[in-house]
């Protein structure tokens, strides 16, 4: 059985195009040298040099373009190669690529434009994730990440600001589960501290203690080991930036929760930027100046 001989690269100097062009040029120059006058010879030589120079510059330009395309191809390949070491992220990458290919094949122009618009929104969200910012909108699924952070082995302290406007704050099933995660963190030695901002309805200005509807929730945290402070919302009305639900997970991350008037989550943003953590710590220290530690508040009768 005959074996296929491997293809060998032949020098460009031995190619038909080069040999034919060189031979033709040599013959023409020989004829000019033999029969042409000196000015004709110089003019012909100048034309030849110009043509060769132009071809050389064109060749350099083509090489630069080929090099640029090669580099672009390598950059495109570097993305999947860099992600190959992380199976979970690579699986998502493959799914996204499949989805993008499907969008590119859409024949309906309106549907395709809508898909591209949605993908641009997704791309912006992915960019936020890359910057260490995770946003959960109109969902309680953020509590899963919240509880994972509270259970993380390296966490030593957790500081929270709870802006409580109704007695239903964290009283539903997800909220009670999150409170259990707080108590479990205390049991593992995590220093859990919380400042609770109470609305006028829950702690009237002349009342010595908060209303009965919220007092048991506060007392339970105090008895379960959470270091607790309370403050009236009216007392910090001149510093509106302090009015926000915040969670500071050591020096690792900060979470900001936005709620509606019925204590339902509108948005939760988890930010791993160290500067954002420092800013949250500064707000905590300012808020602490207005707060009263819970054990100093008279007991409800």
Residues 201-221 have pLDDT tens digits of: 999 998 999 999 999 999 999
Tens digits of residue pLDDT in 245-279? 999 999 999 999 998 887 788 899 999 999 999 99
Q: What is the mean pLDDT of the chain?
A: 84
Helices (H), the chain: 16-35, 38-83, 87-104, 109-130, 142-151, 173-187, 215-223, 274-288
Q: Tell me which residues of the chain have a pLDDT lower than 70.
A: 1-26, 28-29, 31-33, 36, 41, 43-46, 49-51, 53-56, 72-79, 81, 301
Q: Is 25 helix (H, G, I), strand (E, B) or coil?
A: helix
Q: How far is CA 134 from CA 9, 21, 43, 173, 275, in A?
A: 54, 65, 72, 23, 16
pLDDT at 221: 96
Q: Is 260 helix (H, G, I), strand (E, B) or coil?
A: coil
Torsion angle defined by CA atoms of residues 134, 137, 139 and 142, in that order, rounded to the nearest 10 degrees: 20
pLDDT at 125: 82
Burial of residue 142 (number of CB atoms within 10 Å: 0-12, 13-18, 19+): buried
pLDDT at 227: 98
């Amino acid at each position: 059985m005959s074996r296929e001989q491997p293809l060998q690269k032949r020098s460009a100097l031995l190619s038909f195009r080069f040999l034919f062009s060189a031979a033709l040029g040599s013959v023409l120059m020989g004829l000019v040298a033999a029969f042409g006058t000196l000015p004709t010879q110089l003019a012909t030589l100048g034309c030849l040099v110009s043509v060769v120079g132009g071809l050389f510059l064109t060749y350099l330009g083509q090489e630069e373009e080929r090099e640029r395309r090669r580099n672009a191809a390598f950059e495109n390949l570097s993305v999947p190669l860099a992600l190959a070491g992380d199976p979970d992220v690579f699986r998502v990458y493959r799914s996204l690529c499949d989805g993008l290919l499907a969008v590119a094949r859409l024949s309906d122009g309106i549907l395709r434009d809508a898909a591209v618009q949605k993908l641009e929104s997704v791309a912006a969200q992915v960019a936020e994730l890359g910057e260490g910012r995770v946003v959960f909108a109109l969902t309680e699924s953020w509590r899963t990440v919240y509880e994972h952070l509270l259970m993380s082995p390296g966490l030593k302290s957790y500081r929270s600001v709870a802006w409580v406007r109704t007695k239903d704050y964290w009283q539903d099933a997800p909220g009670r589960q999150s409170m259990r995660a707080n108590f479990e963190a205390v049991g593992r030695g995590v220093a859990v501290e919380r400042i609770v901002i109470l609305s006028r309805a829950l702690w009237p200005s002349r009342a010595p203690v908060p209303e009965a509807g919220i007092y048991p929730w506060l007392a339970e945290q105090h008895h379960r080991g959470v270091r607790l402070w309370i403050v009236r919302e009216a007392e910090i009305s001149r510093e509106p930036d302090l009015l926000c639900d915040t969670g500071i997970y050591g020096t690792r991350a900060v979470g900001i929760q936005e709620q509606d008037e019925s204590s339902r989550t509108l948005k939760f943003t988890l930010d791993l930027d160290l500067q954002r953590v420092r800013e949250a710590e500064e707000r905590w220290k300012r808020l602490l100046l207005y707060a009263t530690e819970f054990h100093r508040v008279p007991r409800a009768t």
